[in-house]
């Protein structure tokens, strides 16, 4: 599915027709896919499994791009293709315009050291190192002097709120704390591109919520380009600027949480959106009507066009019927009618 709305110049990472096959036929199928001669009957008869099928995506600078799919949908393989932890069978991966698949091993090491960070589902902390050692590890690998790397690591440990525990071993920490270490470690090198592979899936629901808040706080400070993998649709719409939904290795829909909730592309997607409270996802901009210049007596206030409907609703008060909608610059771009809000809230 080509992602036409983003001009590729602004894109941080672009996947073009990426395929990944596993199994004995993998190489032959990969060649066919690259040459564009892969036919569906060829796929059906092959002994190889296509874990990623013809995925084209472009991830923009500074956005949080969530890849959501159930287990076995190929999302973890896809994210590993993006950093070439898994070698894609066919396609192109462009990172800042550079084709990663053509990069030498040495260049890949360089890119991973300087420009990428990754957080893992089961934390992947090294058991023999303390919190400080784990966080400083990526810098140690690069050969950064001890004093400098430990200073930087302490800063990161402070950022994730673990100051005072830097000499603990991972085993001595709770799951949530361990993942904070994982996050601090992945940020130690100041990556341009931040991969999070189901970072909160191994945590208890309460801790997960807390970590999501923490993550949003971090992102509001850091403004990284993020690829976030999850199997939890609620987490996806909560955290994502844009979401790609995967099924059987292919991307079935890409869009903002709003677009996906309001216009699911397939039945499969609507299975996920069915139970979502629309008012919490849909933004004011989507429901507002053009401003007609009148500021009638029943206009009771103003609202940002980026607020959700659920956030806007209390502003109406007991009797108000319309709110003025303002954009980022503060100019009035439309009005929000009470009936449309209550209609949406009624739908749940």
Partner 1 sequence: MAALGPAQTARTGWPGAPSLGLLVWCVALVVFALLWAYAGTLAPWAQEWPRAWTPRVAATISTFMRWLVDEASFGLFTFIEFTRFLSAMVEAPYRFVLSILSTGFLSGQGSQAVQIAPPVSWAGVIGVFVIAAHAAGGRKLALLAVVCLGFILLFGQWASAMVTLASIVVAVPIGAVGGLLLGIAAVRWRGFERAISPVLDLMQTIPIFAYLVPILFLFGFGPVAAILATIIYAMPPMTRIAIVALRGVAPEIRDLGRMTGCTRRQMTWRVMVPAAMPGLMVGVNQVIMLSLNMVIIASMIGAGGLGFDVLSALRRLDFGAGLEAGVAIVALAVLLDRTSQAFARRTVQRAHADGAGILARHPHLAAGTAVLVASFLAGLVAPPLARWPQAWELSTGTFWSELVRWINVNFFDELEAVKNALLLNVLIPFKRFLLGLPWLGVALLGGVAGWALSGFRLAALVVVLSTLIAVSGLWDQAMTTIYLCGISVVFALMIGVPIGVWSADRPAVWRVVQGVIDTLQTLPSFVYLMPVVMLFRVGDFTAMIAIVAYALAPAIRYTAHGLQQVDPRLIEAGRAAGCTPFQLLVKIRLKLALPEIMLGVNQTIMLALSMLVITALVGTRDLGQEVYIALTKADTGRGIVAGLAVAFIAIIADRLISAGAARARARLGLSAEGGGR
**Identified binder of partner 1 from the candidate list 195, 200, 215, 272, rule CB under 8 A:** 195
Give the contact letters, 146-175, x = binds to partner 1 (CB under 8 A), - = no. ---------------------xxx-xx---
> Token pair of 284, please?
């004011």
Give min distance, CB of 225 to partner 1, in A. 16
22 in contact with partner 1 (CB under 8 A): no
Q: Which is nearer to partner 1, 201 or 256 (CB)?
A: 201
Q: Which is nearer to partner 1, 128 or 274 (CB)?
A: 128
Q: State how far Cα 18 lies from the chain centre.
A: 18
Give the contact letters, 278-317, x = binds to partner 1 (CB under 8 A), - = no. ----------------------------------------
Phi, psi of 141, rounded to the nearest 5 degrees:
-60, -35
Q: Distance between CA 186 and CA 211 in Å, rounded?
A: 15
Closest to 294 in 3D by CA, of 328, 319, 258, 324: 324
117 in contact with partner 1 (CB under 8 A): yes
Q: Distance between CA 213 and CA 232 in Å, rounded?
A: 15
- Residue 24: strand, helix, or coil: coil
> What is the spatial order of strands in the sheet that 242-247 belongs to?
116-119, 193-197, 225-230, 64-68, 242-247, 250-255
Give min distance, CB of 120 to partner 1, in A. 4
Give min distance, CB of 38 to partner 1, in A. 28
Q: In the block, which residue shows the tokens 């050291």? A: 113
Stretch that binds partner 1, among 64-72, 111-119, 284-292, 328-336 (CB under 8 A): 111-119
Exposed/middle/buried for residue 11 (C-beta within 10 Å: 0-12, 13-18, 19+): buried
Q: Which is nearer to partner 1, 38 or 118 (CB)?
A: 118
**Identified binder of partner 1 from the candidate list 83, 177, 253, 308, rule CB under 8 A:** 83
| DSSP element (H, E) containing 223 | none
141 in contact with partner 1 (CB under 8 A): yes
27 in contact with partner 1 (CB under 8 A): no
Q: Distance between CA 120 and CA 134 in Å, rounded?
A: 13
Give the contact letters, 213-252, x = binds to partner 1 (CB under 8 A), - = no. ----------------------------------------
* Share of the chain residues as helix, strand and coil, in percent rounded to the nearest 5: 40, 25, 35
Q: Which is nearer to partner 1, 127 or 317 (CB)?
A: 127
* Contacting positions for partner 1 (CB under 8 A): 80, 83, 85, 109-114, 116-118, 120-124, 126-130, 137-138, 140-142, 167-169, 171-172, 189, 195
């Amino acid at each position: 599915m080509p992602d036409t709305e983003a001009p590729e110049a602004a894109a941080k990472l672009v996947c073009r027709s990426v395929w990944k096959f596993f199994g004995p036929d993998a190489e032959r199928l990969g060649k066919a896919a690259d040459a564009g001669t892969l036919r569906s009957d060829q796929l059906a008869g092959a002994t190889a499994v296509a874990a990623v099928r013809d995925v084209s995506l472009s991830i923009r600078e500074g956005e949080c791009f969530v890849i959501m799919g159930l287990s076995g949908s190929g999302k973890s393989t896809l994210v590993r293709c993006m950093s070439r932890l898994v070698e894609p069978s066919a396609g192109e991966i462009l990172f800042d315009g550079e084709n990663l698949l053509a990069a030498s091993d040495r260049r890949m090491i360089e890119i991973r050291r300087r420009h990428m960070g990754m957080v893992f589902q089961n934390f992947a902390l090294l058991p023999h190192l303390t919190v400080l050692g784990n966080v400083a590890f990526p810098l140690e690998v690069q050969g950064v002097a001890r004093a400098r790397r430990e200073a930087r690591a302490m800063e990161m440990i402070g950022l994730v709120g673990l100051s005072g525990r830097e000499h603990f071993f991972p085993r001595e920490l709770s799951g949530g704390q361990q993942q904070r270490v994982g996050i601090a470690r992945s940020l130690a090198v100041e990556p341009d591109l931040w991969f999070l592979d189901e970072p909160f899936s191994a945590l208890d629901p309460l801790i997960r919520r807390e970590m999501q808040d923490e993550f949003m706080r971090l992102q509001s400070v850091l403004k990284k380009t993020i690829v976030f993998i999850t199997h939890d649709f609620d987490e996806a719409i909560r955290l994502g600027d844009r979401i790609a939904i995967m099924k059987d290795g292919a991307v079935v829909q890409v869009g903002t949480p709003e677009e996906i909730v309001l216009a699911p592309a397939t039945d499969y997607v609507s299975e996920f959106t069915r139970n979502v409270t629309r008012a919490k996802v849909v933004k004011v901009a989507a429901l507002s009507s053009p401003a007609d210049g009148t500021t009638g007596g029943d206009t009771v206030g103003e609202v940002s066009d980026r607020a959700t409907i659920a956030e806007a609703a209390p502003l109406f008060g007991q009797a108000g019927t319309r709110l003025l909608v303002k954009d980022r610059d503060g100019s009035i771009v439309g009005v929000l009618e009470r009936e449309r809000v209550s209609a949406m809230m009624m739908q749940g």
